[in-house]
Structure 1
Protein backbone atom coordinates (compact mmCIF):
# COMPACT_ATOMS: atom_id res chain seq x y z
CA UNK A 1 0.00 0.00 0.00
CA UNK A 2 1.41 3.42 -0.99
CA UNK A 3 1.64 6.40 1.35
CA UNK A 4 -1.49 8.02 -0.04
CA UNK A 5 -3.51 4.87 0.48
CA UNK A 6 -2.11 4.47 3.99
CA UNK A 7 -3.04 8.05 4.86
CA UNK A 8 -6.56 7.58 3.51
CA UNK A 9 -6.96 4.40 5.56
CA UNK A 10 -5.74 6.13 8.71
CA UNK A 11 -8.10 9.04 8.02
CA UNK A 12 -11.07 6.69 7.63
CA UNK A 13 -10.36 4.93 10.92
CA UNK A 14 -9.82 8.29 12.65
CA UNK A 15 -13.12 9.76 11.45
CA UNK A 16 -15.10 6.58 12.12
CA UNK A 17 -13.75 6.14 15.66
CA UNK A 18 -14.21 9.82 16.51
CA UNK A 19 -17.80 9.70 15.25
CA UNK A 20 -18.51 6.64 17.38
CA UNK A 21 -17.06 8.34 20.47
CA UNK A 22 -19.18 11.46 20.06
CA UNK A 23 -22.28 9.43 19.20
CA UNK A 24 -22.05 7.27 22.31
CA UNK A 25 -24.70 8.41 24.81
CA UNK A 26 -22.61 7.39 27.83
CA UNK A 27 -19.71 9.51 26.58
CA UNK A 28 -21.98 12.50 26.02
CA UNK A 29 -23.51 12.11 29.48
CA UNK A 30 -20.05 12.00 31.07
CA UNK A 31 -19.00 15.02 29.00
CA UNK A 32 -22.08 16.96 30.13
CA UNK A 33 -21.59 16.12 33.81
CA UNK A 34 -17.98 17.31 33.78
CA UNK A 35 -18.91 20.56 32.02
CA UNK A 36 -21.75 21.19 34.50
CA UNK A 37 -19.44 20.59 37.48
CA UNK A 38 -16.86 23.00 36.04
CA UNK A 39 -19.50 25.68 35.40
CA UNK A 40 -21.00 25.53 38.89
CA UNK A 41 -17.77 24.91 40.84
CA UNK A 42 -16.80 28.55 41.43
CA UNK A 43 -20.33 29.86 42.19
CA UNK A 44 -20.94 27.10 44.74
CA UNK A 45 -17.53 27.53 46.38
CA UNK A 46 -18.02 31.30 46.57
CA UNK A 47 -20.98 30.80 48.94
CA UNK A 48 -18.95 28.64 51.30
CA UNK A 49 -15.42 30.03 50.93
CA UNK A 50 -15.90 33.55 49.58
CA UNK A 51 -16.63 36.70 51.54
CA UNK A 52 -19.30 38.30 49.39
CA UNK A 53 -18.38 41.84 48.40
CA UNK A 54 -16.32 42.65 51.51
CA UNK A 55 -12.62 43.35 51.33
CA UNK A 56 -9.96 42.34 53.76
CA UNK A 57 -6.24 42.70 54.23
CA UNK A 58 -3.86 39.89 55.02
CA UNK A 59 -0.25 39.93 56.13
CA UNK A 60 2.13 37.11 55.39
CA UNK A 61 5.57 36.15 56.60
CA UNK A 62 7.80 33.73 54.77
CA UNK A 63 10.49 31.61 56.34
CA UNK A 64 13.37 31.11 53.92
CA UNK A 65 16.27 28.71 54.03
CA UNK A 66 19.80 29.93 53.32
CA UNK A 67 19.72 28.23 49.90
CA UNK A 68 16.53 30.07 48.97
CA UNK A 69 17.87 33.40 50.32
CA UNK A 70 21.10 33.04 48.32
CA UNK A 71 19.13 32.13 45.19
CA UNK A 72 20.46 28.61 44.87
CA UNK A 73 16.97 27.13 44.69
CA UNK A 74 14.54 29.94 44.01
CA UNK A 75 11.35 27.89 44.19
CA UNK A 76 10.52 26.62 47.67
CA UNK A 77 9.55 23.01 48.35
CA UNK A 78 5.82 23.66 48.81
CA UNK A 79 5.55 25.54 45.52
CA UNK A 80 7.57 22.94 43.65
CA UNK A 81 5.47 20.09 45.05
CA UNK A 82 2.18 21.84 44.29
CA UNK A 83 3.14 22.58 40.67
CA UNK A 84 4.42 19.05 40.08
CA UNK A 85 1.40 17.50 41.79
CA UNK A 86 -1.12 19.60 39.84
CA UNK A 87 0.47 18.91 36.45
CA UNK A 88 1.14 15.21 37.09
CA UNK A 89 -2.38 14.48 38.29
CA UNK A 90 -3.84 16.27 35.26
CA UNK A 91 -1.70 14.23 32.85
CA UNK A 92 -2.51 11.06 34.80
CA UNK A 93 -6.26 11.66 34.50
CA UNK A 94 -6.01 12.42 30.77
CA UNK A 95 -3.89 9.32 30.12
CA UNK A 96 -6.18 7.03 32.13
CA UNK A 97 -9.17 8.30 30.18
CA UNK A 98 -7.29 7.74 26.91
CA UNK A 99 -6.17 4.17 27.62
CA UNK A 100 -9.62 3.23 28.92
CA UNK A 101 -11.35 4.50 25.78
CA UNK A 102 -8.84 2.89 23.41
CA UNK A 103 -9.17 -0.53 25.07
CA UNK A 104 -12.95 -0.31 25.00
CA UNK A 105 -12.99 0.76 21.33
CA UNK A 106 -10.80 -2.19 20.33
CA UNK A 107 -12.80 -4.74 22.32
CA UNK A 108 -16.11 -3.44 20.94
CA UNK A 109 -14.86 -3.86 17.38
CA UNK A 110 -13.48 -7.32 18.13
CA UNK A 111 -16.84 -8.34 19.60
CA UNK A 112 -18.74 -7.03 16.57
CA UNK A 113 -16.23 -8.53 14.09
CA UNK A 114 -16.05 -5.13 12.39
CA UNK A 115 -12.28 -5.25 12.57
CA UNK A 116 -12.17 -8.20 10.18
CA UNK A 117 -13.82 -6.05 7.52
CA UNK A 118 -11.54 -3.08 8.18
CA UNK A 119 -8.34 -5.12 7.94
CA UNK A 120 -9.19 -6.07 4.35
CA UNK A 121 -8.47 -2.53 3.12
CA UNK A 122 -6.51 -0.93 5.98
CA UNK A 123 -3.12 -1.80 7.43
CA UNK A 124 -3.07 -2.78 11.08
CA UNK A 125 -0.59 0.04 11.86
CA UNK A 126 -2.95 2.62 10.37
CA UNK A 127 -5.89 1.16 12.25
CA UNK A 128 -4.23 1.34 15.64
CA UNK A 129 -2.84 4.85 15.06
CA UNK A 130 -6.17 6.13 13.72
CA UNK A 131 -7.98 4.87 16.80
CA UNK A 132 -5.44 6.40 19.15
CA UNK A 133 -5.54 9.80 17.44
CA UNK A 134 -9.35 9.78 17.53
CA UNK A 135 -9.44 8.91 21.23
CA UNK A 136 -6.85 11.58 22.05
CA UNK A 137 -8.81 14.17 20.06
CA UNK A 138 -11.94 13.27 22.03
CA UNK A 139 -10.15 13.37 25.40
CA UNK A 140 -8.34 16.65 24.71
CA UNK A 141 -11.55 18.29 23.48
CA UNK A 142 -13.21 17.21 26.73
CA UNK A 143 -10.37 18.51 28.93
CA UNK A 144 -10.08 21.83 27.08
CA UNK A 145 -13.86 22.30 27.29
CA UNK A 146 -13.79 21.65 31.04
CA UNK A 147 -10.95 24.16 31.51
CA UNK A 148 -12.81 26.73 29.39
CA UNK A 149 -15.99 26.18 31.43
CA UNK A 150 -14.05 26.61 34.68
CA UNK A 151 -12.40 29.84 33.49
CA UNK A 152 -15.74 31.19 32.25
CA UNK A 153 -17.33 30.32 35.60
CA UNK A 154 -14.52 32.14 37.43
CA UNK A 155 -14.86 35.39 35.47
CA UNK A 156 -18.67 35.44 35.41
CA UNK A 157 -18.89 34.69 39.14
CA UNK A 158 -16.32 37.43 39.78
CA UNK A 159 -18.78 40.00 38.41
CA UNK A 160 -21.22 39.28 41.24
CA UNK A 161 -19.27 37.74 44.11
CA UNK A 162 -15.83 37.72 45.67
CA UNK A 163 -13.60 35.10 44.03
CA UNK A 164 -10.35 36.06 45.72
CA UNK A 165 -10.49 32.80 47.69
CA UNK A 166 -9.20 31.00 44.58
CA UNK A 167 -6.01 33.07 44.54
CA UNK A 168 -5.69 32.78 48.31
CA UNK A 169 -5.87 28.98 48.18
CA UNK A 170 -3.25 28.87 45.42
CA UNK A 171 -1.02 31.23 47.41
CA UNK A 172 -1.38 28.97 50.46
CA UNK A 173 -0.02 26.11 48.35
CA UNK A 174 2.90 28.27 47.21
CA UNK A 175 1.57 28.82 43.69
CA UNK A 176 1.80 32.51 42.82
CA UNK A 177 2.06 34.56 39.64
CA UNK A 178 5.75 35.21 40.37
CA UNK A 179 6.47 31.49 40.10
CA UNK A 180 4.12 30.39 37.35
CA UNK A 181 4.67 33.02 34.64
CA UNK A 182 2.35 30.98 32.41
CA UNK A 183 2.68 32.06 28.81
CA UNK A 184 2.16 30.51 25.37
CA UNK A 185 5.44 28.58 25.71
CA UNK A 186 4.36 26.86 28.93
CA UNK A 187 0.95 25.97 27.50
CA UNK A 188 2.51 24.57 24.31
CA UNK A 189 5.10 22.53 26.25
CA UNK A 190 2.45 21.08 28.56
CA UNK A 191 0.16 20.15 25.65
CA UNK A 192 2.91 18.52 23.56
CA UNK A 193 4.25 16.52 26.52
CA UNK A 194 0.76 15.37 27.52
CA UNK A 195 0.02 14.43 23.89
CA UNK A 196 3.18 12.33 23.63
CA UNK A 197 2.38 10.64 26.94
CA UNK A 198 -1.12 9.77 25.71
CA UNK A 199 0.16 8.36 22.40
CA UNK A 200 2.84 6.24 24.09
CA UNK A 201 0.55 4.78 26.74
CA UNK A 202 -2.31 4.32 24.27
CA UNK A 203 -0.07 2.19 22.04
CA UNK A 204 0.62 -0.07 25.03
CA UNK A 205 -3.09 -0.13 25.89
CA UNK A 206 -4.01 -1.01 22.29
CA UNK A 207 -1.74 -4.05 22.35
CA UNK A 208 -3.13 -5.12 25.71
CA UNK A 209 -6.70 -4.70 24.45
CA UNK A 210 -6.01 -6.59 21.24
CA UNK A 211 -4.77 -9.52 23.31
CA UNK A 212 -8.24 -9.92 24.87
CA UNK A 213 -11.31 -11.61 23.43
CA UNK A 214 -14.31 -10.17 25.29
CA UNK A 215 -15.51 -7.11 27.18
CA UNK A 216 -15.11 -9.04 30.43
CA UNK A 217 -11.34 -8.74 29.98
CA UNK A 218 -11.41 -4.94 29.69
CA UNK A 219 -10.46 -4.26 33.31
CA UNK A 220 -7.49 -6.61 33.09
CA UNK A 221 -6.43 -5.07 29.78
CA UNK A 222 -6.45 -1.60 31.34
CA UNK A 223 -4.26 -2.71 34.22
CA UNK A 224 -0.92 -2.72 32.37
CA UNK A 225 -1.17 0.84 31.07
CA UNK A 226 -2.70 2.07 34.31
CA UNK A 227 0.20 0.67 36.33
CA UNK A 228 2.72 2.41 34.04
CA UNK A 229 0.80 5.68 34.47
CA UNK A 230 0.72 5.33 38.26
CA UNK A 231 4.45 4.55 38.42
CA UNK A 232 5.25 7.68 36.37
CA UNK A 233 2.95 9.78 38.53
CA UNK A 234 4.35 8.49 41.81
CA UNK A 235 7.95 8.93 40.62
CA UNK A 236 7.42 12.62 39.80
CA UNK A 237 5.54 13.35 43.03
CA UNK A 238 8.15 11.58 45.18
CA UNK A 239 11.01 13.40 43.42
CA UNK A 240 9.42 16.85 43.75
CA UNK A 241 10.50 17.57 47.37
CA UNK A 242 14.15 16.90 46.46
CA UNK A 243 14.33 20.23 44.64
CA UNK A 244 16.16 20.77 41.36
CA UNK A 245 18.61 17.89 41.91
CA UNK A 246 16.78 15.13 39.98
CA UNK A 247 15.40 17.53 37.34
CA UNK A 248 17.70 16.45 34.49
CA UNK A 249 17.24 12.72 35.06
CA UNK A 250 13.47 12.95 35.50
CA UNK A 251 13.11 15.17 32.42
CA UNK A 252 14.99 12.74 30.15
CA UNK A 253 13.77 9.41 31.54
CA UNK A 254 11.42 7.68 29.04
CA UNK A 255 7.72 7.73 30.03
CA UNK A 256 8.43 9.75 33.20
CA UNK A 257 9.67 12.78 31.24
CA UNK A 258 6.17 13.57 29.98
CA UNK A 259 5.01 13.90 33.59
CA UNK A 260 8.08 15.78 34.84
CA UNK A 261 9.65 18.02 32.18
CA UNK A 262 6.92 20.72 31.91
CA UNK A 263 6.79 21.17 35.70
CA UNK A 264 10.57 21.50 35.92
CA UNK A 265 10.45 24.00 33.06
CA UNK A 266 7.86 26.09 34.93
CA UNK A 267 10.03 26.17 38.05
CA UNK A 268 13.09 27.13 35.99
CA UNK A 269 15.10 23.97 36.70
CA UNK A 270 15.51 23.10 33.00
CA UNK A 271 15.56 25.08 29.77
CA UNK A 272 13.81 24.62 26.46
CA UNK A 273 16.72 22.51 25.16
CA UNK A 274 16.13 19.79 27.77
CA UNK A 275 12.39 19.90 27.05
CA UNK A 276 13.02 19.35 23.32
CA UNK A 277 15.43 16.52 24.16
CA UNK A 278 12.72 14.90 26.29
CA UNK A 279 10.31 15.17 23.35
CA UNK A 280 12.82 13.47 21.04
CA UNK A 281 13.24 10.60 23.50
CA UNK A 282 9.47 10.21 23.77
CA UNK A 283 9.08 10.28 19.98
CA UNK A 284 11.70 7.53 19.66
CA UNK A 285 9.77 5.46 22.22
CA UNK A 286 6.52 6.03 20.31
CA UNK A 287 8.19 5.00 17.03
CA UNK A 288 9.67 1.81 18.50
CA UNK A 289 6.40 0.76 20.14
CA UNK A 290 4.47 1.64 16.97
CA UNK A 291 6.74 -0.46 14.74
CA UNK A 292 6.69 -3.37 17.17
CA UNK A 293 2.91 -3.24 17.52
CA UNK A 294 2.42 -3.10 13.76
CA UNK A 295 4.14 -6.48 13.38
CA UNK A 296 1.78 -8.33 15.71
CA UNK A 297 -1.39 -6.22 15.91
CA UNK A 298 -3.08 -7.96 12.97
CA UNK A 299 -2.55 -11.34 14.65
CA UNK A 300 -3.63 -10.09 18.06
CA UNK A 301 -6.78 -8.46 16.73
CA UNK A 302 -7.95 -11.85 15.43
CA UNK A 303 -7.07 -13.62 18.66
CA UNK A 304 -10.02 -15.35 20.37
CA UNK A 305 -8.47 -17.27 23.26
CA UNK A 306 -7.90 -16.33 26.89
CA UNK A 307 -6.34 -12.97 27.66
CA UNK A 308 -2.70 -12.70 26.67
CA UNK A 309 -0.31 -11.33 29.24
CA UNK A 310 1.86 -8.40 28.23
CA UNK A 311 5.01 -10.52 28.64
CA UNK A 312 3.81 -12.88 25.91
CA UNK A 313 2.81 -9.97 23.66
CA UNK A 314 6.28 -8.43 24.06
CA UNK A 315 7.83 -11.81 23.31
CA UNK A 316 5.84 -12.00 20.07
CA UNK A 317 6.99 -8.52 19.10
CA UNK A 318 10.65 -9.34 19.77
CA UNK A 319 10.67 -12.62 17.87
CA UNK A 320 8.35 -11.55 15.07
CA UNK A 321 6.30 -14.72 15.45
CA UNK A 322 3.92 -16.12 17.99
CA UNK A 323 5.62 -17.71 20.96
CA UNK A 324 4.53 -21.01 22.31
Structure 2
Protein backbone atom coordinates (compact mmCIF):
# COMPACT_ATOMS: atom_id res chain seq x y z
CA UNK A 1 0.00 0.00 0.00
CA UNK A 2 2.65 2.50 1.06
CA UNK A 3 4.85 1.81 -1.97
CA UNK A 4 1.96 2.19 -4.41
CA UNK A 5 1.03 5.53 -2.83
CA UNK A 6 4.63 6.67 -3.04
CA UNK A 7 4.87 5.77 -6.75
CA UNK A 8 1.68 7.68 -7.42
CA UNK A 9 2.76 10.77 -5.53
CA UNK A 10 6.09 10.83 -7.32
CA UNK A 11 4.13 11.04 -10.58
CA UNK A 12 4.76 7.49 -11.73
CA UNK A 13 1.05 6.61 -11.54
CA UNK A 14 1.40 2.90 -10.92
CA UNK A 15 -1.77 0.96 -11.81
CA UNK A 16 -2.46 0.12 -8.17
CA UNK A 17 -2.77 3.84 -7.33
CA UNK A 18 -6.14 4.04 -9.08
CA UNK A 19 -7.34 1.04 -7.09
CA UNK A 20 -7.15 3.15 -3.92
CA UNK A 21 -8.69 6.30 -5.43
CA UNK A 22 -5.43 8.25 -5.70
CA UNK A 23 -5.58 9.18 -9.34
CA UNK A 24 -5.91 12.96 -9.74
CA UNK A 25 -4.76 13.97 -6.26
CA UNK A 26 -4.25 17.72 -5.78
CA UNK A 27 -0.56 18.86 -5.84
CA UNK A 28 -0.76 20.03 -2.22
CA UNK A 29 -2.06 16.60 -1.20
CA UNK A 30 0.69 14.94 -3.22
CA UNK A 31 3.29 17.05 -1.42
CA UNK A 32 1.85 16.06 1.95
CA UNK A 33 1.79 12.36 1.06
CA UNK A 34 5.29 12.46 -0.37
CA UNK A 35 6.69 14.05 2.79
CA UNK A 36 4.85 11.57 5.02
CA UNK A 37 6.20 8.59 3.10
CA UNK A 38 9.66 10.09 2.83
CA UNK A 39 9.64 10.38 6.60
CA UNK A 40 8.84 6.66 6.79
CA UNK A 41 11.91 5.96 4.67
CA UNK A 42 14.40 8.50 6.03
CA UNK A 43 12.92 9.80 9.33
CA UNK A 44 13.37 13.40 8.17
CA UNK A 45 10.89 16.26 8.37
CA UNK A 46 10.71 18.77 5.48
CA UNK A 47 13.05 21.75 5.42
CA UNK A 48 11.25 25.01 6.09
CA UNK A 49 8.46 23.62 8.28
CA UNK A 50 10.03 25.17 11.40
CA UNK A 51 9.31 28.65 10.02
CA UNK A 52 5.57 27.95 10.19
CA UNK A 53 5.24 26.12 13.52
CA UNK A 54 6.30 26.75 17.11
CA UNK A 55 7.38 23.29 18.27
CA UNK A 56 10.79 21.65 17.98
CA UNK A 57 12.12 19.31 15.30
CA UNK A 58 11.67 16.43 17.73
CA UNK A 59 7.99 17.28 18.08
CA UNK A 60 7.64 17.61 14.31
CA UNK A 61 9.06 14.11 13.87
CA UNK A 62 6.38 12.84 16.25
CA UNK A 63 3.69 14.42 14.06
CA UNK A 64 4.98 12.62 10.97
CA UNK A 65 5.05 9.31 12.82
CA UNK A 66 1.37 9.75 13.64
CA UNK A 67 0.53 10.95 10.14
CA UNK A 68 2.36 8.00 8.57
CA UNK A 69 0.45 5.49 10.69
CA UNK A 70 -2.86 7.21 9.93
CA UNK A 71 -2.10 7.55 6.21
CA UNK A 72 -1.48 3.82 5.85
CA UNK A 73 -4.83 3.06 7.49
CA UNK A 74 -6.89 5.57 5.51
CA UNK A 75 -9.03 3.99 2.76
CA UNK A 76 -8.98 5.73 0.38
CA UNK A 77 -6.27 8.31 1.14
CA UNK A 78 -7.26 11.99 0.73
CA UNK A 79 -7.29 13.44 -2.76
CA UNK A 80 -8.56 17.01 -2.29
CA UNK A 81 -7.07 19.78 -0.11
CA UNK A 82 -10.21 19.77 2.04
CA UNK A 83 -9.91 16.01 2.67
CA UNK A 84 -6.21 16.33 3.44
CA UNK A 85 -6.84 19.24 5.85
CA UNK A 86 -9.44 17.19 7.76
CA UNK A 87 -7.02 14.26 7.84
CA UNK A 88 -4.26 16.46 9.35
CA UNK A 89 -6.54 18.13 11.90
CA UNK A 90 -7.99 14.82 13.04
CA UNK A 91 -4.58 13.15 13.33
CA UNK A 92 -2.98 16.07 15.17
CA UNK A 93 -6.07 17.11 17.15
CA UNK A 94 -4.27 16.94 20.52
CA UNK A 95 -1.44 19.23 19.44
CA UNK A 96 -1.12 23.01 19.72
CA UNK A 97 -3.46 25.04 17.53
CA UNK A 98 -0.57 27.19 16.28
CA UNK A 99 1.29 24.06 15.15
CA UNK A 100 -1.68 22.56 13.32
CA UNK A 101 -2.51 25.83 11.59
CA UNK A 102 1.13 26.40 10.66
CA UNK A 103 1.32 22.85 9.29
CA UNK A 104 -1.71 23.53 7.06
CA UNK A 105 -0.19 26.78 5.83
CA UNK A 106 3.09 25.03 5.00
CA UNK A 107 1.25 22.65 2.64
CA UNK A 108 -1.20 25.21 1.30
CA UNK A 109 -4.16 23.35 2.80
CA UNK A 110 -7.33 25.20 3.86
CA UNK A 111 -8.40 25.29 7.46
CA UNK A 112 -11.46 23.01 7.85
CA UNK A 113 -13.36 25.90 9.47
CA UNK A 114 -12.57 28.36 6.70
CA UNK A 115 -15.46 29.91 4.80
CA UNK A 116 -16.46 28.04 1.62
CA UNK A 117 -14.51 29.29 -1.37
CA UNK A 118 -11.83 30.95 0.77
CA UNK A 119 -8.43 30.73 -0.95
CA UNK A 120 -5.93 28.29 0.46
CA UNK A 121 -2.60 29.71 1.66
CA UNK A 122 0.38 29.44 -0.66
CA UNK A 123 2.20 26.14 -0.06
CA UNK A 124 5.88 25.73 0.76
CA UNK A 125 7.02 29.35 0.71
CA UNK A 126 10.63 29.47 -0.36
CA UNK A 127 12.94 29.62 2.65
CA UNK A 128 15.19 32.67 2.97
CA UNK A 129 18.76 32.18 1.80
CA UNK A 130 21.41 31.25 4.37
CA UNK A 131 23.09 34.17 6.15
CA UNK A 132 25.40 35.89 3.63
CA UNK A 133 29.05 36.07 4.63
CA UNK A 134 28.96 39.86 4.48
CA UNK A 135 26.13 40.05 7.03
CA UNK A 136 27.30 40.70 10.59
CA UNK A 137 24.53 38.72 12.28
CA UNK A 138 20.94 37.57 11.91
CA UNK A 139 17.85 38.14 14.02
CA UNK A 140 14.78 35.94 14.45
CA UNK A 141 12.02 38.24 15.64
CA UNK A 142 8.87 37.83 17.65
CA UNK A 143 5.58 38.52 15.80
CA UNK A 144 5.48 42.11 14.59
CA UNK A 145 3.12 44.53 16.32
CA UNK A 146 0.87 46.74 14.12
CA UNK A 147 2.45 49.86 15.67
CA UNK A 148 5.97 48.68 14.83
CA UNK A 149 6.04 50.16 11.32
CA UNK A 150 6.87 53.86 11.34
CA UNK A 151 7.17 54.32 7.58
CA UNK A 152 7.86 52.37 4.40
CA UNK A 153 11.48 51.54 5.18
CA UNK A 154 11.78 51.40 8.99
CA UNK A 155 10.38 48.89 11.45
CA UNK A 156 10.80 48.16 15.17
CA UNK A 157 11.17 44.47 16.02
CA UNK A 158 11.68 42.47 19.19
CA UNK A 159 13.80 39.35 19.72
CA UNK A 160 13.04 36.91 22.53
CA UNK A 161 15.71 37.22 25.24
CA UNK A 162 15.62 33.42 25.50
CA UNK A 163 17.40 33.42 22.13
CA UNK A 164 21.02 32.27 22.68
CA UNK A 165 22.30 35.47 21.10
CA UNK A 166 20.41 37.60 23.63
CA UNK A 167 20.23 35.55 26.81
CA UNK A 168 23.66 36.48 28.14
CA UNK A 169 23.39 40.23 27.59
CA UNK A 170 20.17 41.26 29.36
CA UNK A 171 21.02 43.94 31.98
CA UNK A 172 20.49 42.79 35.55
CA UNK A 173 18.16 45.69 36.34
CA UNK A 174 15.96 44.71 33.38
CA UNK A 175 15.88 41.06 34.48
CA UNK A 176 14.95 42.10 38.02
CA UNK A 177 12.26 44.54 36.82
CA UNK A 178 10.73 41.88 34.54
CA UNK A 179 10.56 39.34 37.36
CA UNK A 180 9.05 41.85 39.80
CA UNK A 181 6.58 43.07 37.19
CA UNK A 182 5.31 39.51 36.68
CA UNK A 183 4.76 39.18 40.43
CA UNK A 184 3.02 42.56 40.61
CA UNK A 185 0.66 41.64 37.80
CA UNK A 186 -0.09 38.30 39.46
CA UNK A 187 -1.42 40.14 42.54
CA UNK A 188 -3.05 42.85 40.35
CA UNK A 189 -0.76 45.62 41.58
CA UNK A 190 -0.88 47.37 38.22
CA UNK A 191 0.54 50.66 39.47
CA UNK A 192 3.76 48.91 40.49
CA UNK A 193 3.73 46.87 37.30
CA UNK A 194 3.50 50.04 35.19
CA UNK A 195 6.44 51.61 37.03
CA UNK A 196 8.52 48.49 36.42
CA UNK A 197 7.44 48.50 32.77
CA UNK A 198 9.09 51.91 32.36
CA UNK A 199 12.40 50.51 33.63
CA UNK A 200 12.17 47.65 31.15
CA UNK A 201 11.29 49.90 28.19
CA UNK A 202 13.99 52.45 29.05
CA UNK A 203 16.49 49.60 28.94
CA UNK A 204 15.51 48.76 25.36
CA UNK A 205 13.26 45.80 26.19
CA UNK A 206 9.54 45.09 26.40
CA UNK A 207 7.22 42.27 27.44
CA UNK A 208 5.67 41.04 24.16
CA UNK A 209 3.65 37.97 23.09
CA UNK A 210 5.39 35.15 21.25
CA UNK A 211 3.83 33.00 18.51
CA UNK A 212 1.93 31.00 21.15
CA UNK A 213 0.49 34.14 22.74
CA UNK A 214 2.70 33.79 25.83
CA UNK A 215 4.28 36.95 27.18
CA UNK A 216 8.08 36.94 26.96
CA UNK A 217 10.78 39.56 27.40
CA UNK A 218 11.90 40.94 24.05
CA UNK A 219 14.88 43.11 23.12
CA UNK A 220 14.10 45.99 20.79
CA UNK A 221 15.87 46.49 17.46
CA UNK A 222 15.11 49.31 15.05
CA UNK A 223 15.61 48.08 11.48
CA UNK A 224 16.28 50.25 8.43
CA UNK A 225 15.51 48.26 5.29
CA UNK A 226 18.76 47.95 3.36
CA UNK A 227 18.96 49.24 -0.19
CA UNK A 228 15.62 51.06 -0.47
CA UNK A 229 14.30 54.51 0.40
CA UNK A 230 10.54 54.87 0.74
CA UNK A 231 8.60 58.14 0.51
CA UNK A 232 8.40 59.98 3.83
CA UNK A 233 5.01 60.00 5.55
CA UNK A 234 4.25 63.58 4.43
CA UNK A 235 5.19 62.82 0.81
CA UNK A 236 2.92 61.43 -1.91
CA UNK A 237 2.70 57.63 -1.51
CA UNK A 238 4.20 57.86 1.98
CA UNK A 239 1.02 56.52 3.56
CA UNK A 240 0.70 53.79 0.93
CA UNK A 241 4.31 52.69 1.49
CA UNK A 242 3.78 52.39 5.23
CA UNK A 243 0.57 50.42 4.77
CA UNK A 244 2.22 48.06 2.26
CA UNK A 245 5.10 47.30 4.61
CA UNK A 246 2.70 46.78 7.51
CA UNK A 247 0.63 44.35 5.44
CA UNK A 248 3.75 42.34 4.63
CA UNK A 249 5.00 41.94 8.21
CA UNK A 250 2.15 42.45 10.69
CA UNK A 251 1.74 39.56 13.10
CA UNK A 252 4.59 37.61 11.52
CA UNK A 253 8.01 36.54 12.73
CA UNK A 254 10.84 37.87 10.56
CA UNK A 255 14.37 36.86 9.71
CA UNK A 256 16.68 39.86 9.48
CA UNK A 257 20.24 39.82 8.13
CA UNK A 258 22.02 42.82 9.64
CA UNK A 259 24.89 44.40 7.70
CA UNK A 260 25.56 47.73 9.36
CA UNK A 261 24.36 50.44 11.72
CA UNK A 262 23.38 53.90 10.48
CA UNK A 263 23.94 57.30 12.09
CA UNK A 264 20.63 57.00 13.95
CA UNK A 265 21.57 53.72 15.62
CA UNK A 266 19.31 51.63 13.39
CA UNK A 267 20.37 48.21 12.16
CA UNK A 268 20.58 48.22 8.36
CA UNK A 269 19.37 44.86 7.11
CA UNK A 270 17.53 42.63 4.69
CA UNK A 271 14.15 41.35 5.91
CA UNK A 272 12.51 38.07 4.99
CA UNK A 273 8.95 37.17 5.93
CA UNK A 274 7.54 33.69 5.15
CA UNK A 275 10.27 33.30 2.55
CA UNK A 276 9.43 36.65 0.92
CA UNK A 277 12.18 39.26 0.50
CA UNK A 278 10.44 42.41 1.78
CA UNK A 279 12.59 44.93 -0.11
CA UNK A 280 11.82 43.14 -3.37
CA UNK A 281 8.08 43.49 -2.76
CA UNK A 282 8.35 47.18 -1.87
CA UNK A 283 10.30 47.93 -5.05
CA UNK A 284 8.02 45.88 -7.30
CA UNK A 285 4.96 47.64 -5.89
CA UNK A 286 6.51 50.99 -6.76
CA UNK A 287 6.48 52.11 -3.13
CA UNK A 288 10.22 52.62 -2.66
CA UNK A 289 13.25 53.82 -4.56
CA UNK A 290 16.43 51.82 -5.04
CA UNK A 291 18.82 53.67 -2.70
CA UNK A 292 21.81 53.60 -5.03
CA UNK A 293 23.90 55.91 -2.85
CA UNK A 294 24.27 53.04 -0.36
CA UNK A 295 23.47 49.85 -2.26
CA UNK A 296 24.43 48.86 -5.80
CA UNK A 297 22.80 45.43 -5.99
CA UNK A 298 21.62 44.88 -9.60
CA UNK A 299 18.53 42.92 -8.57
CA UNK A 300 17.20 45.98 -6.71
CA UNK A 301 17.69 48.09 -9.83
CA UNK A 302 15.86 45.44 -11.88
CA UNK A 303 12.85 45.39 -9.53
CA UNK A 304 12.69 49.18 -9.50
CA UNK A 305 12.79 49.20 -13.31
CA UNK A 306 9.90 46.73 -13.45
CA UNK A 307 7.76 49.09 -11.36
CA UNK A 308 8.79 52.07 -13.49
CA UNK A 309 7.86 50.27 -16.69
CA UNK A 310 4.50 49.26 -15.25
CA UNK A 311 3.93 52.75 -13.80
CA UNK A 312 3.15 51.24 -10.43
CA UNK A 313 2.87 53.20 -7.20
CA UNK A 314 4.91 56.38 -7.14
CA UNK A 315 5.96 55.78 -10.75
CA UNK A 316 2.44 56.71 -11.85
CA UNK A 317 3.64 60.30 -11.37
CA UNK A 318 5.59 61.85 -14.22
CA UNK A 319 8.12 63.38 -11.80
CA UNK A 320 8.13 61.51 -8.49
CA UNK A 321 10.02 63.35 -5.76
CA UNK A 322 13.10 61.55 -4.45
CA UNK A 323 12.84 61.16 -0.66
CA UNK A 324 16.51 62.03 -0.04
CA UNK A 325 16.05 65.31 -1.95
CA UNK A 326 12.81 65.99 -0.04
CA UNK A 327 14.62 65.48 3.30
CA UNK A 328 17.46 67.79 2.21
CA UNK A 329 14.99 70.49 1.20
CA UNK A 330 13.21 70.14 4.52
CA UNK A 331 16.48 70.53 6.44
CA UNK A 332 17.25 73.64 4.40
CA UNK A 333 13.77 75.04 4.97
CA UNK A 334 12.87 74.92 1.27
CA UNK A 335 10.56 71.87 1.24
Q: Which has the higher helix share?
A: 1
The structure that has the greater radius of gyration is 2
Asked whether the two chains share a fold, i.e. TM above 0.5, the reply is: no
TM-score calculated relative to the size of structure 2:
0.24
